[in-house]
Homo-oligomer: A and B are copies of this chain.
Amino acid sequence: MRKVAVVGVGETKFSGPQTKTGVELFAEAATDAMKDGNVKAKDVQALFVGNCLSDFAEGQGMVQAFAAENIGCFNVPANRYEGACASGSMAVRDAMMWVASGAYDIVLAGGVERAATLGTPLATRTFAMFSDARYEFPAGITFPGVFAMLAHLYAATYKIPIDKLREQMAAVSVQSCKYGAQNPKGQFFGKYGDLTVEKVLSSFMVASPLTLHDCCPFSDGAAAVVLASEDVAKKLTKKPVYILGAGQASSGPLISQYDHLPKIYARELASKQAYKQSGLSPKDINLVELHDCFSIASLIASESMGLFDYGKSGAAWQKGEAAIGGRVAINPSGGLKSKGHPIGATGAGQVYEVTKQLRGEAIPALQVPNAKTGMTDTLGGDGGTVVNMILQRGW
């Protein structure tokens, strides 16, 4: 199969509630991505959009078809993908296959969400539909509860006293907020840059042991990427970023993952697929955008991706090993915690960030030095979908 490159990326600001429709938000990101990739709308052969809640948030299904028409990609095949928080990554991975196969040379993929528009109580409630609706949700387990339990299980499994784990998790949030406060695309741009471990620990308790600052916000936003075959990419840009590997796996209800928790088994599989496909290993990864919906999620994700030993990632964060300039820069964008989490857009937003970093086009204060290879990670539901992608600069 053919090598596939990211040739253009675009993104709206991730934000709280705002008034643009999903189609309008996506159009903003998509037109930026096409401009960035030197691609005209008429050159796009298909449009793949990740989206979870547009029907709930604004009464609009099939947002991808209206988006295609809105941005001038008239009559192209247009698919909507739903894999909860991994919807955008699912769309990008599928677009990669359509290009790799030779069916299309240029595909636009991305995602959009208006989760903040729903308001936190309704967003929390509707979003719990993406856990198991028959046994988990009726038991009262919304996502903060799921991750709070995972934190306790993590502490017990790796014999870390819960107070020590809380400090480690707080270190994750402090780093994310420090970076995100400098990211003009981020929801918390200019905010919480001076967050401290003490402030995290003393912010109000959402689901013990997770406080407010262990949790990401709900967000509105969109992100889009233009993918092209290697030959076409070389004509469009001097800085093609190749997707060398893309893994995806699923799980059923939490109980089906019982033997593996607090590890998310789908991620163990998806990241291995991505490494195998790329021929690379964790030591080759210079930067990562991973799914830190809660601070504990960062620890779990980084370990499954092989970046740190199991039970050791919290200490690594505290030592600066996950910082820009550290062993591997994790979430230099601010991540879901500070940049924001517009559900269906999040995965495409990660590809945006990694591409910008590999091109050396990140905000100077957030640029990872000599970044050659990056990785993305998105988790949908409580393990129902995980997608990992490995990207490398091609020049």
A: which residues have CB within 8 A of B?
1, 21, 23, 47, 52, 55-56, 58-62, 64-66, 68-70, 74-84, 90, 94, 97-98, 100-103, 126, 129-130, 132-134, 137, 248-253, 256, 265-266, 269, 380-381, 384-385
Contacts of A70 in B (CB 8 A): 252
Contact call A78/B385, Cβ cutoff below 8 A: yes
Q: List 6 A-B contacts (CB under 8 A).
A: A61-B84, A62-B380, A65-B380, A76-B250, A78-B385, A79-B83
Other-chain residue from B60, B75, B130, B134 in contact with A133 (beta carbon distance below 8 A) = B60
Contact call B66/A253, Cβ cutoff below 8 A: yes
Please give me the 4 A-B residue pairs with the lowest Cβ-Cβ distance, nearest first: A69-B252, A101-B101, A65-B384, A60-B133
Q: Once bound together, how far apart are the Cα atoms of A132 and B74, in whole Å? A: 16
Contacts of A47 in B (CB 8 A): 250
What DSSP secondary structure best describes chain A's contact surface? Answer: mixed
Given contacts A59-B133, A62-B84, 6 further A-B contacts (CB under 8 A): A55-B126, A61-B84, A62-B384, A65-B251, A69-B253, A79-B90
Other-chain residue from B59, B74, B101, B249 in contact with A75 (beta carbon distance below 8 A) = B249
Contact call B90/A101, Cβ cutoff below 8 A: no
Q: Once bound together, how far apart are the Cα atoms of A307 and B101, in whole Å? A: 32
Assuming the contacts A75-B265, A82-B80, A97-B98, asked whether A55 and B56 have C-beta atoms less than 8 A apart, the reply is yes
Contact call B269/A75, Cβ cutoff below 8 A: yes
Other-chain residue from B56, B82, B132, B269 in contact with A66 (beta carbon distance below 8 A) = B132
Contact call A21/B134, Cβ cutoff below 8 A: yes
Other-chain residue from B55, B83, B94, B129 in contact with A129 (beta carbon distance below 8 A) = B55
Contact call B76/A249, Cβ cutoff below 8 A: yes
Other-chain residue from B130, B133, B250, B380 in contact with A69 (beta carbon distance below 8 A) = B250
Output the least CB separation between A235 and chain B (Å).
23
Contact call B103/A66, Cβ cutoff below 8 A: no
Output the least CB separation between A19 and chain B (Å).
12
Contacts of A1 in B (CB 8 A): 101-103
Output the least CB separation between A41 and chain B (Å).
13
Contacts of A256 in B (CB 8 A): 69, 74
Other-chain residue from B76, B134, B269, B385 in contact with A65 (beta carbon distance below 8 A) = B385
Contact call B81/A79, Cβ cutoff below 8 A: yes
Assuming the contacts A134-B21, A381-B62, asked whether A249 and B77 have C-beta atoms less than 8 A apart, the reply is yes
A60, closest chain B residue (CB): B133
Q: Once bound together, how far apart are the Cα atoms of A80 and B50, in whole Å? A: 10
Q: Once bound together, how far apart are the Cα atoms of A158 and B200, in whole Å? A: 70
The winner among A64, A101, A126 for most chain B CB atoms within 10 A is A101
